[in-house]
Structure 1
Amino acid sequence: MRRISLFLIKLLAGFIGLSLLLVLLFKFVPVPVTATMVMDGNGITKDWEPLAEIDRNMVSAVIAAEDGKFCSHDGFDRKAIEDAMANNAKGGRIRGGSTISQQTAKNVFLWQGGGYFRKGLEAYFTLLIEKIWGKRRIMEVYLNVAETGIGTYGAEAGAQRYFGKSAASLDPLEAARMAAALPLPKERSVKNPRGWLRGHGSTIAARMGQVRRDGLDYCVYD
């Protein structure tokens, strides 16, 4: 038992040390590849861009669509999590309560899919990046590793694919349509959305004005 306990302690210490090293490294260095990218059978198209080269419309769009409390929470939107759990308990369409911080932690350090073990690791990495990276870096990494289409990762690659232009010059509607597709990028059309998806993109575009007016992106630009 003593040997087993010692082994487990060393294993835990090694994991904590490695995770801290990676989080510190990626605070300054672009994330080269993620597990999601490696496991994508469609190949990888990506182009890392600093946040200064990504239009503010894209930041406003993802906050409006994914996480309106991004600048005010500590990595977890407890109300959204509770609402998602209550909704999912009723059955029907599954809703998520993950913040941009949680999605970034999952995308960079973990794998897709559920399970309590992965969720626990996601919470751990979320706490680390909130403390070590800060909000601006979290947003920068998120907009560079998020899947924006089939085999396409990041805002720059998505902007080039759908609109033939740089992410630095996205207009509000283009950014809103990209944000609308983020939860299901392999299934949702960005360039020619129809029906509910088209309306959802327009709703996000309208919310972007509120993001600017209410300063909901202040932690990214102040």
Structure 2
Amino acid sequence: MNAPSAFTAKRRSRWISIPIKIVLGFVALSIFMVVVYRFVPPPVTWTMLLDLNGITKDWTSLDDIDPDMARAAIAGEDGKFCSHHGFDVDAIAKAAIHNASGGRIRGGSTISQQTAKNVFLFQGGGFVRKGLEAWFTVLIEAIWGKKRIMEVYLNVAETGIGTYGVQAGAIRYFHHGAGKLSRPEAGRIAAVLPLPKKRAAVAPSGFTRRYGNTIAARIGVVQRDGLDSCLR
């Protein structure tokens, strides 16, 4: 009686240990990747690999990108970027209420969350992906810090069809690098970020034009109120 019981207990223990090892392996691998990307530019993302339009990108350090581009991203995407720890609870709650009432779907993701998704994950995926996104957001906030998060975001975000990063976007739309962006140009690129395949930063019309102008006007507010203080 004892022998079969001991065998059963051993087999049960083995089956329990397998998922534990998988989880621990994932945790170790994810931390390792985040540490590596703290110093090394992410070479490619799943979004890029799955883009049938090809990949045009040109990694550019944050110091070589006009500061107004980061301010435009904050103005358009995440006004509390420098004050939150990865998640804007108020924005998430407001987005949930808005989406429940119908109409155009609104997101509540911060720049940190978008960066985590863009670098390590894939588009879509529901609750599983959102859970993984939250995990990687916590990691990059703890290991990278705000300046690195913004730098990576501005280099991997899709800025047009087959175009990634603000340097490639600036060259595509305005025929000069991201270091020479004017406020209206930075505002236009920021306006494109939510729907890069449907919006164009050159001669934008309708909502894109209005939104780009609004963001450009907010850039001065971001600077004046120190909403970009974590990047200085």
2:169 to 158, 161, 165: 158
User: SS of 2:79's equivalent?
Assistant: coil
Q: Does 1:76 align with 2:87?
A: yes
Give me the CA root mean square deviation: 0.7
Q: What is the CA–CA distance in structure 2 between the aligned matches of 1:46 and 1:150, rounded to whole Å? A: 11
Counterpart amino acid of residue 182 in structure 1: L
Q: What is the CA–CA distance in structure 1 between the aligned matches of 2:195 and 2:124, rounded to whole Å? A: 13
| Aligned residue pairs, count | 221
Which is worse superposed, 17-26 or 190-199?
A: 190-199
Q: Which residue of 2 aligns with 1:126?
A: 137
Q: What is the CA–CA distance in structure 1 between the aligned matches of 2:182 and 2:34, rounded to whole Å? A: 32
The equivalences for 1:1-222 within 5 A come to 1-221=12-232
1:71-92: CA deviation from partner (whole Å, max 9, x where unpaired): 0001000000000000111112
Unaligned runs of 5+ in 1: none
User: SS of 2:43's equivalent?
Assistant: coil
Q: Which runs of 4+ in 1 moved over 4 A?
A: none
> Once the 2 structures are TM-superposed, how far is the Cα of residue 3 of structure 1 from its aligned partner?
2.1
Q: What is the CA–CA distance in structure 2 between the aligned matches of 1:36 and 1:4, rounded to whole Å? A: 35
Which of the pair has more CA radius of gyration? 2
1:161-200: CA deviation from partner (whole Å, max 9, x where unpaired): 0000000100000000000010000001110111221111
User: SS of 2:24's equivalent?
Assistant: helix
Under a length normalisation based on structure 1, what TM-score does the superposition of the two structures give? 0.98
Under a length normalisation based on structure 2, what TM-score does the superposition of the two structures give? 0.94
Q: What is the CA–CA distance in structure 1 between the aligned matches of 2:193 and 2:218, rounded to whole Å? A: 16
Unaligned runs of 5+ in 2: 1-11
User: SS of 1:148's equivalent?
Assistant: strand
> Once the 2 structures are TM-superposed, how far is the Cα of residue 2 of structure 1 from its aligned partner?
2.1
